[in-house]
Structure 1
Amino acid sequence: MDTSTISSTTGAPSPAPTATDGPSAAPTTPGDTSTISSTTGAPSPAPNSTEVTSTTAPPTTPPQTTTSAGFPAGESSADPLPIFLPAPPVICENGGTYDGIKCICTASFYGPACEYSTNAIDTNLPYPGTLVADTELVVTVTNFNYTEALKDAQSETYRSFERHFEMEIRKIYGAIRGYEGVKIIGLKPGSIVVDHKVFFTVTGTGNVTGRFEGLMDGLVGRLRETVASQGACQHNRSILCLNVLPNPIVKNMTEAPSLDEICWQRAPRDYRDFYFAVTTGDTIHCVTNCTPNAPTTMDCHHGQCRVTRAGPQCFCDDEALYWYTGSRCSGRVSKLATGLGLVATVLLITCIVLTVLLFRDHQRKYVLSPPQTSSVGTWYEDDGLTWHANDGFIYRNMGADGATG
């Protein structure tokens, strides 16, 4: 026999069951001595009581089923549901990598997307004591075919071949001490005939002519070693498959007229034209117009100078709060002050207009109002027939005589 007591949801005792409501009583389980308290916290009767205080079984909620589309049964799939779209991927430029939070830039770049080049590059080359030398060579690349697009140095085809040539030729020339880089002078048909300059930095003193000859011999020797070891490579696009003349030297090595070539070779691609060499102290530095305290430093006034692919540019501070005049952030106008001034001007003009309208309305009412009659103005009609002046003269009102007959 069940000795548990079921309390009502209100905590108040229920009347004893009758014959009519007995069947609706909650079923009991033999041996169950637990007590179920009400939701209001009222104390339950003692466990040995057999009184049933609720005539209705606690409502039970059937298990909710879902449809194949994932919506609860009985609900429409048209009900609005939150949609979580993935965040757009962050594209890091210039070799930067995204770590899930920000772009990790290489040493030559910075910015939210690594879009800005550094303002200066340290060469660590001594000055005086460093000079730039260049020589001109010609080689034939046999695993690429010349196309019309290679006539345009700004085309993507040309730029792609230029990047590939510079990267692969460095593996050949880079073993020679002082190597800085190459610059393509021209491309011709015949597979692809590449006329290019090779640049070196030469430091120290001594027999410069003899050192130049040694550099040229080293270049030719490296080219011949490459041709001898490459084998059948005409179909391998990952390397430069070369054909070299017995004497590929077109122009002997000479001293370059400027140190700027060092900066052109060491600056990041697409930013090369914005760097130039300056000699500060005893070192050669590559700087831009954004480098502080340089001879041609760009004054951005209320902004920051940054080197972009389009060149050095001024980026103004707090553009959400200020308007700027000119391309160098020279004139700054507060948007808040301008807005408040505009509101004050509108209010002043409104007050002036209302004042003028009120004044004109007052004038119109004054003109249209009828003249006021005064008893003083009719003294000559209503007064007697004769008026005696103080000096003894007598004035007679002829109109008054006619009026009285």
Structure 2
Amino acid sequence: MCHNGGTYDGIKCICLDQFYGPSCESMVDNVEVDNLCHNGGTYDGVKCICLDQFYGPSCESVVDRVEVGGKVNTTVIVNLRITNMNYTSVLSQTGSHEYYEFIKNFKLEMQVFYKDLPGYKDVIVISLSQGSVYVKHEVIVEAEYNENESVIKQYEEILQKVNQVLENFRNNNCTSESNGSKLCIDVDNSELTAVFPKSEKDRCNEVVQSGFQEHFQPIVVNNSLICVSSCSPNSKSYLNCHDGTCQLQKVTGAHCLCPKTETYVYTSQGCQGKILKAGLYGGIGAGIAALVIFIFTLSFFMFRKHQKKHTLFKDDDKSWYEDYDDEWSVERGITNLSEAVYEDYQQRFRPALENVDTTTQVKIQRPEVLKK
């Protein structure tokens, strides 16, 4: 329904920046060609021609998986000393007939020599040198990507097996004469050199486009190596974008592109929680209104409380003598107190008889009568 990378929101097509129309079928006229195609894509006048692993109208998207394969050739370098032949200057000439015949016979004999080596495929002669004849060659052994064992671990086992082949030949110094080219080998003076293969991660870094390697991780599925990004469902860190599209960026890695619509808005980065924009904006407006009312009400009650407290303090500031209507007069003395005031003070100054020790003897001197 929607062309050129457009997405349908349930009502209409949402087009990319450089396209327009009901189905995003038209392209704007003022787009600069240099900025139209991304990730190394080229514009042919009609559309963008993308590099491998990129796609989309502007080559803006990266594939979420790159398949490497199930087999890998490993190499062990062996330098064998052939004792029943002498090195001549003719063997140094790689184009000579003698050199050609020697290499052909050597490869045939090595098929027998390495026949018990699992995964053996071929030998490639690197060089010939003096010392009777030293033949430096690569032994090609095929390994298979495995979910339970890394290719590095498999190669360590291959090294042990190649070394075991040499040890087994120690008692049988010469190959068979079935090809008429028997070779006698000095095992003690032969050398073995390891050439470790690239790990699964290094292999992915080799095949994935430059700038995106860190966002791809290797996995093995059905004995086949696959490099996947977080946009792939096969990835352990799969980013599920639900209604949106997962896109990979060089710097930020995988992220979700949610459909841009005028009707809905998504509440999560995974393009979930689709809600109506009208309801969202209405809810926000209602929330703001409720907050304003709450603040106004709280301010009003705080103001009333402050006013009431101020009035209370003002009343308490009255002098104690202002509580009574009767006037005091020094001339009239204590007798000028009203009965109500007198009773009030009488109640305030009651003796605490419970603190009096009644066992204490009190001696009162008998009064004397004075005679005139």
Which TM-score tier does this pair reach, normalised by the shorter chain?
Answer: 0.3 to 0.5
**What's the TM-score once normalised by structure 2's chain length?**
0.32
**What's the TM-score once normalised by structure 1's chain length?**
0.30
